[in-house]
Structure formats: C-alpha cells, structure tokens
C-alpha cells in the first residue's frame, strides 16, 4: 500500500515538475517576444538592434524615453517663446498652413529638408551627444562609431564616465554640474567647451618617428549648451582632436599655419606662413615666447589653453589676437597638442616633449595701432606667465616622463 502511494506521489511530483517547466518556458517565451517587440520599436537599424540583449534593450528604452521627454520640454519652451513673440493675425496663420499643406502634398518641402539634414550630418566631422544631470548618455549620433569604435547602442543609456579617462571624470562633473538638481543650478554662461579623453578601440598605433601616445585613448573636443534641466544637462557636438600617432597634418588653406614650442611655450619652429603674416623675422620669433606676441587682453585665453595642454595633452583655445610687426593685430584660433617623440635625445637622456600648435586665421588685420607702453606691458605679462606660472608644471611633467 505504501509503495503504491509513493509511486503515485512520485508520478504527481513528476507531472507537477513538467507543468512547472512548461509554464516557465511559456513565460520565458512571452518575455522574449515582449523584448523583441520592444526592440523592434526602437529607432535603430536592424544590425545594431539584433546585437542588444535584454538589459541593453531596457537601457536604450529608458534613454529614449528620457530623451523624448527632453524634446517635449524644449518644444514647449520654444512654442511658449513663439506665442510671446507672435504678432501675426489668424489670416496669416491660415495662409501659412495652406502653403505648408500644399508643400507637403506636392513633395516640395519634405525631400529638400531631409536631404539638407542628411548632408549636414555627413559634413560634420564628429558626433552629437546629449547628457542628463547624472552623466548618462541619452542620445549620441551613429557617427560616434567612426571616432571611438563604439556603437551607438553601446553608448546610449550608459554613463559617460565608463568610457572616460579616469582623471577626466572629475573635470566633467565640475564643468557640467552633474548630480546637481536643476532647482539648485544657476547657469550664468550656457556656452560650454571642454576636452575629454575617451577609452576607445579606434586608436591608431604610433608610427616610427611619430608622436607617441597612449594606445586606445582619443581626445574629443565638445562644444555645446549647458541646460538647467535634469533630463538634458548638456546638448552639444564633439569632434576629435589630433589623433595619436598622426605624424602628418596637411595645411590645406592659406589661413592656416603651425608652430612648435617647448613646454614653456617658447617658439622653436615657425613655418613660412606664420612669418609672412606676422611680419617679424625668423630670428626674433625663435628668441621669444608666443605670449610676447599676444594682445594683452587675450593673455588669459592663451594661459588657459597652455595649462590645459600641459595637464591633458590637448586644448582648443578661444579666439585671441596676435601682434604684427606693423602694430596691427588679427584674430586666430589655436589647437595646441603635447607630443612625445620616439627619437632619443642623448643630451638629456629622455624622450623629448614639445607643444605643436595648429592655428586658423579668423579675421583680417585690424588697424588698432598699439603704442610702446602697451607693448612693454605685454612684455611684463609675458615674463610673468612664462617664468612664474609654468616652469613648475613643466618640471613636474618632465620628472614624471623620466619615471
């Protein structure tokens, strides 16, 4: 009797176990189908969408919903501003609506606008990025894969700090006021410019006799707007700086010139275009620092660029003015890079380091003739910046390179 009861119990347990497995399989199938439906709703191309797992689908969906909420908030602000600034009558509004409907109907408006947007994004040598107040990437354009070797689906919904060089995370938090609620944030200057180093898989190995850099690290210069909003703290555009291992950079335009300088920004090489534009002799240029030829009111911009380059290796300056031999000045923008070369310097028994500047002329020469007093003032400021501010930083940098 007991054996029959045990056999019946075993059969019942086996049946229950099979039913439990069937229910679990059905539940997993429904869950899988639900995730597939969610993935199909994402605005991603099929090859990228098929690479996402369940956690990746949820991560991208959360970022997409937050980005959609940001767009709604921005549209609400723009519509409110348009209503406040609108002076048109109802008849004019109806007339615009009729013209818009005719344009859509006759396909006179949609295709040119779409083609313009496509050409615009293809022309940009970079990518668009949107961050929230916690540093999560809400949106990044597909062109990011060209520069960082990371797909759009990998980055969207992930914290940007996971892909940054460790020492740049603190800089990002301070600059963008991350983890600060919008109610406690006051933005005085919404325009932002920052250089961040990314850990990526798109790095190029240094060539022989080329600038030596850390493999897998790429510097991206971001320009954008800082918003007092939790959903969209930073909306901007990033483009790559000089690539590691790049030993040639063609100067395609007559408005470009380059120079090389030591770590204190004293010029050690200038090209012919620089000498022709500025009007000083080759000997005079090589005997002085770049600070000596900068307009006095713009020395802080060059100082900021110099300090950022010594600490991060890259910097893009704000617009500043250079003196000419005639007393005139002109506006330029400079990209400054810290390069370490493989050629062994036998005199110092270490790898030589230097600063390379690529400059773009923004304006024509202005007839703001300066007098000798201002030039002497600039000479004193030059001595202050070179002798007091940066020699310690340069010595520390050289000491770290020896180690």
In a domain, 330, yes or no: yes
Total domains in the chain come to 2
Q: Provide the pLDDT for residue 306.
A: 92
In a domain, 44, yes or no: no
**Domain identity same for 192 and 260:** no
**Domain identity same for 317 and 387:** yes
In a domain, 9, yes or no: no
- How many Cβ atoms sit within 10 Å of the Cβ of residue 218? 25
Please say which residue of 240, 267, 300 terminates a domain. 240
**What is the spatial distance between Cα 387 and Cα 389, in angstroms, rounded to a whole number?**
6
**Domain identity same for 265 and 189:** no
CB 130 within 8 A of CB 168: no
In a domain, 22, yes or no: no
In 300-326, which positions are buried (b, 16+ CB within 10 angstroms) versus exposed (e)?
A: ebbbebbebbbebbbbbbeebbbbbee
Q: Provide the pLDDT for residue 209.
A: 40
**Domain identity same for 66 and 192:** yes
For residue 334, what are the β-bridge partners?
359
**Domain identity same for 332 and 219:** no
Domain containing 273 equals 256-402
Q: How far is CA 108 from CA 93, 94, 105, 201, 394, in A?
A: 20, 19, 8, 43, 60
**Domain identity same for 270 and 153:** no
Q: Provide the pLDDT for residue 160.
A: 92
Q: What is the CATH number of the domain that holds 291?
A: 3.30.450.20
Q: What is the pLDDT of residues 129-157, one digit of tens each?
A: 989 888 899 888 888 888 888 888 888 88
**Domain identity same for 268 and 223:** no
**Domain identity same for 276 and 357:** yes
Cα angle value 186/187/189 (rounded, 5°): 150
Please say which residue of 187, 205, 240 terminates a domain. 240
Please say which residue of 207, 240, 273 terminates a domain. 240
Please list the ranges in the chain whose pLDDT falls under 50: 87-93, 95-96, 99-100, 102-116, 203-214, 244-245, 344-351, 370-403
Q: Provide the pLDDT for residue 90.
A: 45
Q: Provide the pLDDT for residue 291.
A: 92
């Amino acid at each position: 009797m007991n054996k029959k009861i045990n056999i019946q119990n075993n059969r019942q347990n086996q049946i229950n176990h099979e039913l439990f497995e069937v229910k679990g399989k059905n539940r997993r199938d429904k869950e899988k189908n639900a995730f597939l439906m969610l993935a199909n709703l994402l605005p991603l191309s099929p090859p990228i969408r098929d690479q996402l797992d369940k956690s990746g689908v949820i991560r991208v969906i959360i970022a997409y919903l937050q980005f959609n909420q940001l767009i709604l908030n921005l549209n609400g602000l723009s519509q409110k501003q348009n209503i406040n600034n609108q002076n048109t009558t109802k008849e004019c509004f109806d007339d615009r609506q009729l013209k818009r409907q005719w344009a859509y109907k006759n396909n006179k408006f949609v295709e040119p606008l779409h083609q313009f947007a496509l050409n615009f994004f293809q022309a940009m040598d970079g990518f668009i990025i949107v961050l929230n107040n916690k540093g999560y990437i809400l949106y990044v354009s597909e062109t990011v894969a060209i520069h960082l070797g990371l797909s759009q689906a990998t980055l969207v919904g992930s914290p940007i700090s996971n892909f940054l060089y460790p020492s740049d995370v603190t800089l990002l938090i301070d600059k963008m006021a991350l983890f600060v609620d919008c109610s406690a944030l006051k933005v005085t200057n919404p325009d932002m410019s920052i250089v961040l180093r990314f850990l990526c898989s798109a790095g190029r190995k240094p060539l022989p006799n080329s600038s030596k850099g850390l493999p897998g690290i790429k510097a991206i210069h971001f320009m954008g707007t800082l918003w007092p909003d939790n959903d969209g703290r930073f909306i901007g555009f990033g483009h790559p700086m000089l690539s590691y291992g790049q030993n040639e950079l063609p100067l395609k335009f007559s408005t470009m010139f380059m120079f090389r300088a030591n770590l204190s920004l004293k010029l050690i090489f200038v090209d012919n275009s620089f000498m022709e534009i500025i009007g000083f002799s080759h000997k005079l240029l090589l005997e002085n620092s770049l600070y000596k030829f900068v307009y006095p009111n713009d020395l802080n911009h060059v100082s900021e660029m110099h300090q950022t380059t010594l600490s991060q290796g890259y910097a893009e300056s704000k617009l500043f003015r250079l003196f000419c031999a005639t007393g005139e000045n002109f506006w330029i923008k400079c990209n400054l890079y810290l390069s370490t070369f493989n050629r062994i310097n036998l005199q110092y028994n270490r790898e030589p380091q230097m600063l390379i500047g690529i400059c773009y002329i923004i304006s024509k020469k202005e007839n703001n003739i300066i007098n000798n007093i201002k030039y002497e003032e600039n000479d004193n400021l030059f001595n202050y910046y070179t002798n007091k501010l940066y020699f310690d930083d340069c010595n520390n940098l050289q000491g770290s390179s020896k180690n």
